[in-house]
Structure 1
Amino acid sequence: MLLAAVATVVWSGNFVVARALHDAVPPVQTAFWRWVIALLAVLPLAWPQLRAQWPALRRHAGYLTVASLLGIACFNTFIYQAGQSTSATNMAVIAAASPLLIVVFDRFTGRRIGGRRATGMLIALAGVLALVAKGSPAALLELDFATGDLWMLAAGATFAGYSVLLRRRPKEISGIVFLCATFAVGVLLLAPAYAISLSAQGGFAPTASTVGPLLYVGVFSSAIAYFTWNKAVALVGAARAGIVYYLQPLVVAVLSFALLGEGVTVVQVGCMAVIVGGVALAAKERKADR
């Protein structure tokens, strides 16, 4: 669970950084360069094992392609696209559905959903919604949903599918080689869309304000966060690791307070406590629920 928490914290920073690139770098170009940087970061680590595991990579090319399509090419591209036409509040509401989708998809593979886990997830979800609504249920009814919300919903679904698919990772492919392979395939899948974006929208200026954030999302939000998330799913399962994803709004609030100086209200503190309590309850599943 600690590994899943590390990934969640790093991904929370990704939302802040991605917002900084909103007007400077088109969504598809952000995603493309993110994965190019991530590939360059993990390639030296995976290289010694690549030759030995190359036959396994060829045998499981179909699986690797699907995993790359869902978790690499589509997931974050959809998030960046969603940010073009919807608010951060709406994105937070829809992102809260990701752990539920993971459980639903995981259930189709025969995994049992225990009562303790289900209760904890519902409590955490209630805390997330209360945090987004700032303690006012009426605020949720006043949200103005846009096209970007559909992109965000698609992002949640692809992330859930990717997380569940991780349980089927071939054992003869190591974690670092799996990352390297999926990053490489993801770059290839994004290349046509990148070329279209470059032709239609032009490129971007490689300044400190664009390269710096891209390095963060490439190295930290991609190479490090994906490695820790994949390892967490391998150890505790997609559904249980997904519970920690509910902590993201809490982490974003803490980062906003620490880095941006935004105030924290009593309602927000109360909501955070509810989220942490729900996650803690869901994480303490019985062996029979695994």
Structure 2
Amino acid sequence: MAVLDRIRSSGATDAQTARRDSAAGLLLAAAATVVWSGSFVASRALHDSVPPVQAAFWRWIVAVVAVAPFAIRQTWRQRTLIRRRLGFVALAALLGVTVYNTLVNQAGLSTSAGKMGMIMAASPVVMAVYERLGDRRLGARRTVGMAVACTGVLLLVGGGSLATDFAPGDLWMFAAMLSFASYSALLRRRPTEIGGPAFLFATFVLGALMLAPAFAISAAVQGGFEPTTATVGPLLYVGVLSSAVAFFAWNKAVALIGAARTGVVYYLQPVCVAGLSAVLLGESTGPVELLCLVLIIGGVALGAGRAGSAAADNVRT
């Protein structure tokens, strides 16, 4: 009887731990998603005060400083592994740090934060395509889902019409989405021997270094920017919160509840962006935008499924 009692007690304890882990994981994933959503609002807020390349460069300088205390020791221990896979790490840094965030900042010059978030909501569909290329057919479900999501994106940028003239910011955001999806597909082949913090720190450093020449040209041609609360505040937000805190929160969520459940939370991002941009920037969300939002998220959920969730998760590991 004593043995049976211990087994029952152990089972109850395990169930309680699982519930706590589940709740904590979902909260951490939601927190990371909200923080990442705010980065689109921050990029839009900087559109008339900080040139895009300079905003991207200082974001990653801040991120390097913020992540260093947590990652530099592991990075030093694994320096030989990183040098051995330097080509892979550099390509990941180029796509995910240098190119993607610079394009997001460029898009913020001429399109709304809400549009930026909703266009990005279609990225898991592109990730699913990358994942299935050379592997197996997408199937009817995924094909329909991608068609629905793409229709939503086209209606969004066309203001309710499929016969649209794309604004420059919309095109920059499409390019950013493709860079993001390519980065995600690349990360599925990330060397497992390199730890997560070390990989992040290395990509942050390399991405900032690759931005340095463009930053120098921008500073010489366009001049710098005035360091005020309105400029430094958003840069600290995207550097510390979006580039450091949210990454670690997301990784912890994955450890607690797994990739599939965590990735589902990613689809809340356009909803968060729309809400934040309405409150902080005064951007309106009308019936057309709401319809597009439903189409995009519905298409992503249908077309990406578990593969899309995994791909979204891999971006942040």
| Partner residue, 2:58 | 33
What do the CA deviations read for 1:182-233 (whole angstroms, capped 9, x no partner)? 0000011001111111111111111111111001111122223445667889
Work out the CA distance in 2 between the residues paired with 1:150 and 1:280.
Answer: 24
> Does 2:39 correspond to 1:14?
yes
Pairs within 5 Å for 1:81-230: 81-84=106-109, 86-88=110-112, 91=116, 94-108=119-133, 110=135, 113=138, 115-126=140-151, 136=160, 138=161, 140-146=162-168, 148-227=169-248
- How many residues get paired? 280
Tell me: CA distance 1:23–1:258, structure 2 relative to 1, closer, same or farther (3 Å): closer
Deviation at 1:141, TM superposition (A): 2.9
Tell me: CA distance 1:185–1:144, structure 2 relative to 1, closer, same or farther (3 Å): closer
Tell me: CA distance 1:283–1:185, structure 2 relative to 1, closer, same or farther (3 Å): same
Work out the CA distance in 2 between the residues paired with 1:262 and 1:145.
Answer: 17
Work out the CA distance in 2 between the residues paired with 1:185 and 1:258.
Answer: 35
Tell me: CA distance 1:283–1:208, structure 2 relative to 1, closer, same or farther (3 Å): same
TM-score (norm 2): 0.72
**Amino acid paired to 2:163:** L
Deviation at 1:143, TM superposition (A): 4.1
| Partner residue, 1:253 | 274
What do the CA deviations read for 1:132-166 (whole angstroms, capped 9, x no partner)? 667x4x3x4354433x4443232122111100111
Work out the CA distance in 2 between the residues paired with 1:22 and 1:100.
Answer: 28
**Amino acid paired to 1:145:** A
Q: CA RMSD in A?
A: 3.7
Mean alpha-carbon deviation: is it higher for 220-229 or for 29-38? 220-229
Is contact 1:124-1:275 (8 Å) kept? yes
Structure 1 unmatched runs, 5+: none
Is contact 2:121-2:296 (8 Å) kept? no
Work out the CA distance in 2 between the residues paired with 1:126 and 1:244.
Answer: 22
Deviation at 1:113, TM superposition (A): 3.5
Deviation at 1:99, TM superposition (A): 2.7
TM-score (norm 1): 0.78
**Amino acid paired to 1:87:** T
Is contact 1:27-1:81 (8 Å) kept? yes
Pairs within 5 Å for 1:69-88: 69-84=94-109, 86-88=110-112
Is contact 1:90-1:143 (8 Å) kept? no
Structure with the greater alpha carbon radius of gyration: 2
User: What SS class does the counterpart of residue 141 from structure 1 fall into?
Assistant: coil
Tell me: CA distance 1:11–1:66, structure 2 relative to 1, closer, same or farther (3 Å): same
Is contact 1:125-1:246 (8 Å) kept? no
Is contact 2:75-2:202 (8 Å) kept? no
What do the CA deviations read for 1:106-155 (whole angstroms, capped 9, x no partner)? 22353664554444454455555666667x4x3x4354433x44432321
